[in-house]
């Protein structure tokens, strides 16, 4: 046996091989992971519009309840227009092209139909009840704004008569 082979054999006898899977986490690491969220409020989803998180929120601010997440998603569905959502061309109620004439009976009926279609496809757990349009006169000097108020229920979450108000910018 050569000198190199003897050295290699001695080295292999004293070497230990460890598997990274067997190491696990320390007790302190485990406690930190399980107590990351304050009062056991685990995040449900990301709030929109995006905001940087603070404290124990993480990178972005998060919704802590399913009701607030559903409300946020419904708002995004109503405000989104076709072609704006990457990968889902028909996502949204597509209301911007109706904005100039919202408030007239025919256009309101079309808006209701579009919202109903979007909800039935992307949020069938929401039951819209009433639809109302209004003009937003605050800071309305250079920008025309029309508002929509929708009252809805989410039966699976036992939510009734929740109101969603959104502003659609007509011109400006």
- Identify the residue with better confidence: 55 or 124: 124
Rounded to a whole number of angstroms, the distance between the first and last alpha carbons of the chain is 88
The pLDDT of residue 2: 74
User: What's the rounded Cα separation, in Å, for the pair 171 and 8?
Assistant: 79
**CA distance to 74, 75, 82, 111, per residue, from 69 (Å):** 9, 10, 22, 23
Predicted pLDDT at 131: 96
What does the pLDDT read at residue 126?
A: 97
Mean pLDDT of 63-77: 95
Q: What is the pTM of this model?
A: 0.74
The β-bridge partners of 134 are 147
- CA angle, 13 then 16 then 20, to 5°: 160
Whether residue 128 has pLDDT greater than 90: yes
Rounded average pLDDT over 50-69: 87
Residues 6 or more apart in contact with residue 157 via CB below 8 angstroms:
66, 67, 70, 125
Which of 10-24, 112-126, 130-144 comes out lowest in average pLDDT? 10-24
């Amino acid at each position: 046996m050569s000198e190199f082979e003897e050295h290699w054999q001695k080295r292999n006898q004293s070497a230990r091989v460890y598997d990274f899977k067997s190491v696990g986490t320390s007790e302190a690491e485990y406690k930190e992971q399980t107590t990351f969220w304050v009062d056991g409020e685990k995040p449900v989803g990301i709030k929109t519009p995006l905001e940087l998180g603070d404290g124990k929120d993480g990178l972005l601010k998060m919704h802590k309840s399913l009701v607030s997440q559903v409300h946020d998603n419904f708002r995004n569905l109503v405000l989104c227009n076709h072609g704006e959502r990457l990968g889902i061309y028909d996502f949204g109620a597509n209301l911007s092209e109706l904005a100039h004439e919202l408030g007239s009976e025919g256009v309101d009926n079309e808006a209701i139909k579009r919202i109903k279609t979007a909800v039935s496809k992307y949020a069938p757990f929401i039951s819209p009840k009433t639809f109302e349009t209004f003009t937003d006169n605050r800071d309305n000097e250079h920008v025309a704004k029309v508002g929509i108020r929708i009252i809805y229920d989410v039966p699976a979450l036992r939510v009734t008569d929740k109101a969603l108000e959104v502003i659609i910018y007509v011109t400006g």
